[in-house]
Chain A
Amino acid sequence: MTSASDSTASKGARRASIDLKTLGPAIALLLLCIIGFLLNPAFVSEGNLTNLLTRSAFIGIIAVGATFVITAGGIDLSVGSMAAAIAGIMIIVMDNAVETLGSGVPTVLLGCGVAIILGIGAGWINGTLTTKGKIEAFIVTLGTMGIYRSLVTYFADGGTLSLNFEVRGTYRPVYYDSFLGLPFPVWVFIAVAICGWLLLNRTAFGRYCTAIGSNEAVAQYSAINVDRVKTLTYIIQGLCVAFATIIYVPRLGSASASTGVLWELEAIAAVIIGGTVLKGGYGRIGGTILGALILTTIGNILNFTDMISNYLNGTMQGLIIIVAVFLQRSDWKLGKTKAS
């Protein structure tokens, strides 16, 4: 009897200590929301909250993919450019398909299919160059970042690629309509997040990502096909970028050289704020989602207040990133002394 209660007690204590660590980003988000509410009660209005969630969806979906890449010890700097390139090619394909397929659903589906294939392909290129080409992921994706970005500029001839007006009408609900009170982008975000969480935390693939990021040699000696798993993380990243692009295109119905600029940094920031370790070996999808929400919330709050200029959005985001990582570090130190 006593031993049983002892063991449950110790289990409870353990769970509490883990929670304290993982709750960090959640507490930060809660604080931000309280600050937002105090500054302007309109912050918690339904309209603002759904707007905030919708805006978070792009970065959030991309950041879920980035969590896999970073957990497995890699990095992908090309996601912003990749999104722009996919958006551009998608628009070109749909515009050209209008004549044969009309401006209805088939054209939009074709565009989405093209986006997914491009996302997978771009991810595969990043992954293969990293693993088979044995080039640092930072270098590979820095290169593809430049390539994808310049492709959009080239296709748009330095200007803007616009989606056919009628197709835009068909496609529009994907961004602007809601289901059960939540906009479609938020549903996509939720679906991607759940799939990502299951994949990272419940499957052998997720375990392999963690093992590779933790120590690649150990992974290799443990019968893990390191190259294949790493390439797959980049493919997942590409797929996530494709999903994000699919819900982004109907928002403006256009793509230009400035589409998706700095998304890669926001995605990486969301991952890091969420508690995933930049050098790999430990990843948290839940944290990543909170990280994406935190980043969007900061911008949103600045829109609501005159105290700090909206132009300082980047400054606030930068400060939050640095503080978040600093807190994570001291958190670990605390955990260590506790254990010993």
Chain B
Amino acid sequence: MHAETSAPAAIIEAVNISKSFGPVPVLFSVSMDVRPGEVHALIGENGAGKSTFMKILSGFHEPTSGQIRLDGESTSLPPNGAAEKLGVVLIHQELNLAEQLTVEENVFLGRELKKNGFLDRAAMRAAVQKHLDEIGLDILPTDRISSLTIAQKQMVEIVKAVSRNARILIMDEPTAVLTEEETQVFFRQVEKLKTSGVGIVFVSHKLNEVKTIADRVTVLRDGQWIDTRPSQDLTPDMMAQMMVGRELSDLYPPMEEADVDAEVVLAVDGLCTAEVNNVSFRLRKGEILGFSGLIGAGRTAVFEAICGLLPIESGTINLFGRDVGPMTVAEARDAGLAYLTKDRKEKGLLLNKKMQPNLTLFALPKFVKNFAIDRKAEEEALKRAIRRFDVRTRDPDITVGKLSGGNQQKLLLAKIMESDPKIVVIDEPTRGIDVGTKQQIYHFIAALAAEGVSVVVISSEMPEIIGICHRIIVMREGHITGVLTGDHINENEIMRYAAGLKREELH
């Protein structure tokens, strides 16, 4: 404490923040402060509570206990982004810009300068130009947002924040969508912001970047504050170490040995798509193969391409020993390959329909008899699925949107399994569902594999992927960077491959 008295006083300080959603605690007494002119990185695994904490720091959530101090005074931040007026700005990962308006219109949106009742465009343009010059961004105030790159859009968000006299900028994975060069440009601009005295909270999974840009690092794990340290005292490996390190409980089913000599059911060679670069792998009968990596590493794109949802640029796919060209989703399904999306609300289920039409939609040709849908068979399928997947609902006529997340996920799983796939790809099997349902889904996946179905699990939750998979492939920026089996599977290794600290020479 005394050693830090020389440091400038913090602009914002979170003291012993705890937060529960209903009965579920997410944060336990987390503290963090941000000083003027520093970049303070916040790191932790998915589900560690970073997002919640950021939202509390910016007033979008109210803490259950603990306090936020602004310039040393305890305050309660106004909700819904109104904290911007106090100089605290959260920049969301999905940017908040009106695509069809120009840069200047976006920057001044909602507080336009006026003269005699009309917009004072000249004054606004001059003000925006000044900010753009300061930050060193080479675009015009009159450029339309839709014509900018993602990196430029991000900088417009920052200009917007700065023009509103932001003193604290909270950025949620700003570099996740940037290329390496764009990241470099972004960092130069962050440096400039620092010199003007803005305090920056930087959330990232890319530990090398954290090491480069951050002055201090705070680590969260399972909603707990682990440590805050100057970044020069840390290596990326140490950060990874601090982020993980937890015991695996009986949440996961006992692992059955994978038969390494089982036949290969899916062989992919040199697959390239817009987001995927030269991906090759083998999947064996009865194997549970994990795909790990950061969000945006291209894992989903690999399987959406194989299953006919995205165009393939090049590469070969061999399914059950037969070379197949690009397939439609229906052809993949008929060949015994099914993909279960991670986005169950937007791509998985018809939320305004009942369970029955949802359940049979994927495998509907199976239910057609004499050109008509066999509704009795549909009803029986629903009864079977409710039993098999333990979908819990009082009323089978309920619209799916009203089911809990866990029940929706079970229904989606049931929907995909109606087609009796031999290979099933499950993308984020347990996103946003409670731990009890998670356990059921893990056991279901294990049972499937034991029956000889091959399962691919794409997951950003490391404990889960380690807990259920026989073998793990790690991807980064569209490439496979490592393959882990048996005793080599641990969170440290995966994190190092995923963050680009280590790379396996493949083939």
Contact = CB atoms under 8 A, between A and B. Distances in A.
Interface of A: 14, 198, 202-204, 207-208, 210-211, 214-215, 217-225, 281-282, 339-340
Given A14-B397, A211-B361, A220 B329 contact: yes
B152 interface: no
A132 to B, nearest CB: 15
A84 to B, nearest CB: 34
B346 A215 contact: yes
Given A204-B367, A223-B332, 5 more contacts: A204-B365, A204-B373, A207-B361, A214-B353, A223-B330
Contacts of B328: 223, 225
B131 to A, nearest CB: 37
A211 B358 CA distance: 9
B364 A221 contact: no
Q: Is the interface of A mostly helix, strand, loop or mixed?
A: helix
Given A207-B357, A207-B373, A221-B347, A339 B402 contact: yes
Interface string B339-378: 1010000111111110001000110110110011100000
Contact of A211 (B309, B332, B350, B368): B350
Contacts of A217: 346-347
Contacts of A214: 350, 352-353
B357 A211 contact: yes
Nearest to A205: B371
For B333, B347, B397, B398, which residue has the most chain A Cβ atoms within 10 angstroms?
Answer: B347
Q: Is the interface of B mostly helix, strand, loop or mixed?
A: mixed
B328 to A, nearest CB: 7
A290 B371 CA distance: 27
A207 B364 CA distance: 9
A217 B361 CA distance: 13
Interface of B: 309, 328-330, 332-333, 339, 341, 346-353, 357, 361-362, 364-365, 367-368, 371-373, 395, 397-399, 402, 415, 419
A198 B309 CA distance: 31
For A207, A220, A281, A340, which residue has the most chain B Cβ atoms within 10 angstroms?
Answer: A207
Contacts of B309: 220-221
A284 B397 CA distance: 19
A222 B357 contact: no
A218 B350 contact: yes
Contact of A221 (B339, B373, B397, B399): B339
Nearest to B372: A202
Given A14-B397, A217-B346, A220-B329, A204 B339 contact: no
Contacts of A218: 346-350, 361
For the complex of A and B, list the 6 residue pairs with the smallest distance between their C-beta atoms, beginning with the closest: A223-B329, A223-B330, A202-B372, A222-B361, A217-B347, A222-B362
Contacts of A208: 364
Nearest to A215: B350
Contacts of B372: 198, 202-203
A178 to B, nearest CB: 32
B200 to A, nearest CB: 36
Contacts of A207: 357, 361, 364, 373
Contact of A203 (B332, B371, B398): B371
A221 B350 contact: no
Contacts of A340: 402
For A198, A202, A225, which residue has the most chain B Cβ atoms within 10 angstroms?
Answer: A202
Nearest to A14: B397
Contact of A281 (B330, B346, B352, B398): B352
A204 B364 contact: yes
